[in-house]
Structure 1
């Protein structure tokens, strides 16, 4: 979930600056559709973050009822929306090597596969990202992501990564 938030933040942050080369003298875009295309990338990243947040809640023990209540839907609707993503993530935790091969072929979710196989290294990468982008968020410490994780003995992974 943290990685999806990182990706979303990077895409949204990239949409803030407006370079002189991007606008015509009248203020219109030099490349019609480019702003909308960037917004589509942000929206897709937001959907991935949303799904990852639901999976994270499930891994943390939240029931479908709790997730449904937060979303304002029935538990069955929440389960229908997120059960496949949860199942896929749990499978990746059980077989990170297979997930790496699968995602190398389809191009999606490579970070989840990497995280499943290298949870501590992935968490440290996210620690570095947070510290580089710290904006007066208070004392985050030296391990703002990895410091909050605990090992999961049965899967070898790390909770929350």
Structure 2
């Protein structure tokens, strides 16, 4: 399939790069959810140390777990669009290739459909998976959003430059050859 933006124009991002961006967003979301679980709010606990809102901590942990599963799936899709076979994915996970395929083929298919649909499959940012659709339709904008997030959250990560996400993308030149982005 040709790499196109949602307006039908040729996209500078290959499908594998879009899958990597979707994985990066899932990691970003997971990090945000996990980070939010660290502080203990001033009014969160009763004087005896019990929660004022029973079940809220478990609900937050369940949200982190769902985000971790989405990140895990996005990583498998990223590997697949990057050329990895089911054998490699199975080997990395310590399962048979057939098991890896059974676990991740639907996620790969869904992502490929989002690419073909130009990122219009999920329009509501409140829906799970909205980022994959957004990334499929707007990869460079998505990468710049992630650049901003990384730079706001860097913590002793050394010099990441001004484009820690978008700078690593492979782009296509006008002749269709891959080139590293600026």
Ranges of 4+ aligned residues in structure 1 off by more than 6 Å? none
Residue 127 of structure 1 is matched in structure 2 by 147
Residue 86 of structure 1: how far off its partner (Å): 0.5
1:55 to 74, 77, 95: 77
- The answer for unaligned runs of 5 or more in structure 1 is 157-161
User: Aligned pairs, how many?
Assistant: 152
2:26–2:74: 8 Å Cα contact kept in structure 1?
A: yes
Greater relative CO, 1 or 2 (CA 8 Å, sep 6+): 2
Aligned match of 1:109: 129
2:65 corresponds in structure 1 to: 43
2:48 corresponds in structure 1 to: 26
**In structure 2, distance between residues paired with 1:152 and 1:55:** 21
Q: TM-score, normalised by structure 2?
A: 0.79
Mapped to 1, the partners of 2:171 and 2:117 lie a distance apart of 17
Counterpart of 2:118 in structure 1 is 96
What is the CA–CA distance in structure 1 between the aligned matches of 2:162 and 2:127, rounded to whole Å? 32
CA distance in 1, matches of 2:117, 2:102: 24
- Which one has a larger percent helix, Structure 1 or Structure 2? 1
Q: Structure 1 residues 67, 152: closer, same or farther in 2, change over 3 A?
A: farther
Alpha-carbon shift at residue 151 of structure 1 (Å): 3.0
TM-score (norm 1): 0.88
CA distance in 2 between counterparts of 1:72 and 1:22 reads 41
SS state of the match for residue 99, structure 1?
coil
User: Matches of 2:133 and 2:57 in 1, distance apart?
Assistant: 31
